[in-house]
Amino acid sequence: MGGGGVVVAVATFAIWFLGSSEALGFKCSSESATCQALIDYKSPNATSYGAIQTLFNITNFIDLVGANARPRTTLPTASVDKDQIVRIPFPCNCTNSIGLSNHLPRYIVKDGDTLSHIAQDVFSGLVTYPQIQQANNIPDANKILVGQDFWIPLPCSCEQVNSTTKVVHYGRIVAAGSSVQQLAQQSGIAQDILLDLNNMTDPNALLAGQIFDVPLRACSLGVRSGSLDSSSLVANGTDLYTANGCVKCSCDSSNDWTAQCEASGSNSTCPSMQCQSSGSNSTQLTIGSSNTTSSCPRATCVYDGYSATANANGTIFTNLVTNSTCPASGASRISFHGSPSNLVLIVIHLVLLSLYLCF
């Protein structure tokens, strides 16, 4: 058709819906903040991780691999089943108390598309068409043009749950039969905090299929200040590839929510990841390895951050950490147990002696 574009229409029965101003995003009270967030995508068709990377505009494939804790060697051609849920990592932008994906992913309108098809089918209901319309200031939802470039406003948040607990916000697809109480138990985040984050007051109003913010507890990297990833977080149960993919950091609840990092085994050109020699034998330790697994003391090479251009001869910082809290031997235990009681006896004797001398 002429005119450089084709007018495509949205189902007219849904037009009434445009009147209601639907809430965009999750609650995010900070005035302006950005952070990393996650959302569930339930693929409507069999597809591949590579196709999902393209759909969601994910710059580095390894970020998608890490968010799903897949092996590093996962290829873009790796298949995703119909209805399989894949976690999408994306940058969140909080503005005016609303958290939305930072003007990504972008979607280019194809012949035959309608806004509701894009919202419901292509993005599997993660957004509604009035939300796409509102975010892109589209005057008439029935008039979108082939080749027009939209961004899809995914809900997210950068809100802290409290001053001590680090979290990564995660828009989960609510499974049939789950409850706010159950989600609170699983995540370790109190029910009233969950309700508040989701702008809900009634826990019974939770609907199957709804996108509900269930923050994941997260690990800090514990690297030096000034490192480019010093504010990065690793969500519980995910992997973060940092230092340009050279270092892989994982998070579980052990180790007081500090990430465990190791050389990723990436074959891209990585700078040295070795610690200075330890012990009498000058064995070079690589990030994530120890000079012994059995004996004590043990030296471990720990990731400490990276400088701007880790691939172009930049620097990956390391720290050699010696664990000197060796398990006490049997003999020292006995003497440790013995001395306090001996001390008590001596003190009692001294007190008695001084009493005797005084009177």
Ligand X SMILES: *[C@@H]1O[C@H](CO)[C@@H](O)[C@H](O)[C@H]1NC(C)=O
Per CB under 6 A, residues contacting ligand X are 23, 27, 34, 44-45, 57, 59, 93, 95, 97-98, 102, 106, 108, 121-122, 161-162, 164-165, 187-190, 193, 199, 216-217, 236-237, 253, 267, 278-279, 281, 291-292, 295, 297-299, 312-313, 322-323, 325, 327
Sign of torsion, CA 40 203 169 122?
positive
Burial of residue 320, with CB atoms counted within 10 A of its CB: 0-12 exposed, 13-18 middle, 19 or more buried: middle
Q: Which is nearer to ligand X, 2 or 256 (CB)?
A: 256
Q: Which is nearer to ligand X, 141 or 270 (CB)?
A: 270
Residue 242 β-bridge partners: 247
Rounded to the nearest 5°, which phi and psi values hold at 73? -80, 0
Q: From the CB of 2, what's the least distance to ligand X, in Å? A: 25
Q: Which is nearer to ligand X, 192 or 346 (CB)?
A: 192
Distance from C-alpha of 143 to C-alpha of 96, rounded to nearest angstrom: 29
Helix (H, G, I), strand (E, B) or coil at 343: helix
Contacts of 342 (CB under 8 A, 6+ apart): none
Distance from C-alpha of 24 to C-alpha of 127, rounded to nearest angstrom: 9
Q: From the CB of 295, what's the least distance to ligand X, in Å? A: 5
Which residue, judged by CB position, is nearest to ligand X in the bound state? 237
Q: From the CB of 287, what's the least distance to ligand X, in Å? A: 15
Contacts of 137 (CB under 8 A, 6+ apart): none
Q: Name the residue type at position 178.
A: S
Q: Which is nearer to ligand X, 16 or 256 (CB)?
A: 256
User: Closest Cα partner for 152 from 121, 111, 198?
Assistant: 121
Q: From the CB of 108, what's the least distance to ligand X, in Å? A: 5
Helix (H, G, I), strand (E, B) or coil at 287: coil
Q: From the CB of 203, what's the least distance to ligand X, in Å? A: 15
Distance from C-alpha of 124 to C-alpha of 56, rounded to nearest angstrom: 12
Q: From the CB of 96, what's the least distance to ligand X, in Å? A: 8
Q: Which is nearer to ligand X, 238 or 352 (CB)?
A: 238
Q: Which is nearer to ligand X, 179 or 292 (CB)?
A: 292
Q: From the CB of 198, what's the least distance to ligand X, in Å? A: 9
Q: Which is nearer to ligand X, 59 or 182 (CB)?
A: 59
Q: How many CB atoms lie within 10 A of CB 261?
A: 27
